[in-house]
Amino acid sequence: MRGFFGERLGRRALATGWLLNLPALAVLAFFFLVPAVISLWFALRDWDGITESSFIGLANFRELATTPRFWHALWTNAALAGFTLITQVPLAFAVALVLFKQRQHGRFLRSLVMFPQVLSIGAASLLWLMVYHPQRGLLNAVFSLLVPGDIRVAWLGSSTTALGAVIIATNWYYFGLHTLIFLAGMSGIPQEYYDVLRMGSNRLRDELYHVTLPMLREQLLISFILVVSGSFGHVLGFVSILTNGGPAGSTELLGLYAIEMGFRAGRFGLASAITVVILAVVLSIVIWPIVRIARTRLEYS
C-alpha cells in the first residue's frame, strides 16, 4: 500500500495508521454507517412505528418511483440547490474577492455579510415570516411605496411565490458562510504567486484564472458540498418554520416529506426509503468531485 505522497508503507506503519484512524472511523461508523444501514433495513419493511414490522422488499422504493409527490419534492430540492449554486456561490465569491482586496477598509461590509450567521435558524425564519407577511410585512410595505396601490402579495401563502421566497430567505442566511469560506481560502494564497503573475500580466481576469480559482478548488468544492447536502439537510429547519413544506406542497423538500411520512402518517418504512434515496442522491453528486480534487491536489513549492 502507498502513502499520501506515493511512498511504500511497511506493515508496522500501516497498522499504526489504521490504529490512529480507528477512533475517527468508529465515530463515522456510529453516526453515519450504522444509521444508514438501519435506514436501509427499515426501507425494505412496512412499519408503523408501533406494531411489528414486516419485510416487503423494494415495495417502498417502487411506491416512491410512482408517487408524483416524491418527484416534486426531489425537484424542489434540485431547484433550491441549483439556484443557490448559480447565484449565491458566485456572488459570495465576488463579495469575498472585494473583501479580500479591501482588507483594510472592509470591516463594515464583512460584519454586514456575516450578520445572518449570528442569528439562529429559528430567529432568522421568524424574521423572514415578518418580512413576507401579506398584510403587515416589510416587503409588501416597500412595494406599496414604490408602486401605486396597496400591495398584499402572499409571498409564503401562494404556491406561485412560496418557493422563490424560501430560496431568497435561505440564500440570505447562508450567504455569509460561503463568503467566509472563500475569504479564508483567499487569505491562504501566498502573495508570491500574484507577484510572479504580475510580472507578466496585471489583469484581474488573469489573476482569477491562473491563481485565485485554481488555489480555491477545495473551497469551491466545500461550497458545492455544503449547498448540495444543505438543500437536503440543514435547510429543513428554515423551510419547516417558514412554510412547513406548503402551501400545497410547493416548498416540500424530501426531508420534510420523510418526516411527515414517518412521524405523522406512521409510515416509517416509506420514510426510511426516502432517506436512503436522499443519501444516494447526495453521495452520487458529491463523491466524484471529492475524489477528483483529492487526486489532483496541487502542491506548489
Partner 1 sequence: MILNRRTILHAAKAAVVIATLGLAVTLEPAVSWAEPKEIVMWNNPVSESYTKFWKGLVDDFNNAHPDIHVTYEQFDTETMKTKVRAALLAGTEPDIWFFNPGEFTTINHRQGKIRGLNDILPVDQYTKEGRAGCSDGEDMVCIPLYLAPSVVYYNKALFAKGGVDPSTWANPDRPTLTELNAAIDKLIGAGIQPFAMANSAKWPFMFFYWAAQNRYGGTKVLSNAALGQEGGSFNDESFVKAGQFVQELVKRGAFPSGFNGTAESEIYAQFSQGNAAMLYMGPWAISLTEEQAPQGFEYSLFDFPSIEGGAPDAQTDMMAGIDALFVSASTKHPKEVGEFLSKFSEAETARRFMIETDSISTINGVLEDVIKSGKANEKLAKVANFLAKSGHTYQWWDWALPPAPAEEMLNLSQPLAEGTVTPEEAAARIERAARP
List of residues contacting partner 1 (CB under 8 A): 12, 15-16, 19, 48-51, 129, 132-135, 152-159, 162, 243-244, 246-249, 259-260, 263-268
With respect to partner 1, which residue has the nearer C-beta, 109 or 141? 141
Q: How many CB atoms lie within 10 A of CB 118?
A: 10
**Of 106 and 134, which CB lies nearer to partner 1 in the complex structure?**
134
Count, residues in the chain: 301
User: 196: how many CB neighbours lie within 10 A of its CB?
Assistant: 12
Give whichever of 223 and 240 is closer to partner 1, judged by the CB atom. Answer: 240
Q: How far is the CB of 58 from partner 1 (least distance, A)?
A: 16
CB of 1 to partner 1, least distance (A): 16
The smaller minimum CB distance to partner 1, of residues 128 and 224, is found at 128
For residue 201, the minimal CB distance to partner 1 (Å) is 48
CB of 146 to partner 1, least distance (A): 20
- Please, what is the minimum distance in Å from the beta carbon of residue 284 to partner 1? 29
Residue number with CB closer to partner 1 (224 or 268) = 268
CB 239 within 8 A of CB 251: yes
Closer residue to partner 1 (CB): 183 or 239:
239
- Residue of 72, 254, 252 whose CA lies nearest to 163: 252
Place of cell 475524489: 291
Shortest Å distance, C-beta 30 to partner 1: 15
Per-residue cell: 299: 502542491
Whether omega before 247 lies within 30 degrees of 0, making that bond cis, reads yes
Give CA torsion, residues 84, 239, 28, 40, to 10 deg. -110
Q: Which of 98, 95, 85, 245 lies closest to 162 in space, CA to CA?
A: 245
Smallest distance, partner 1 to C-beta of residue 265, A: 4
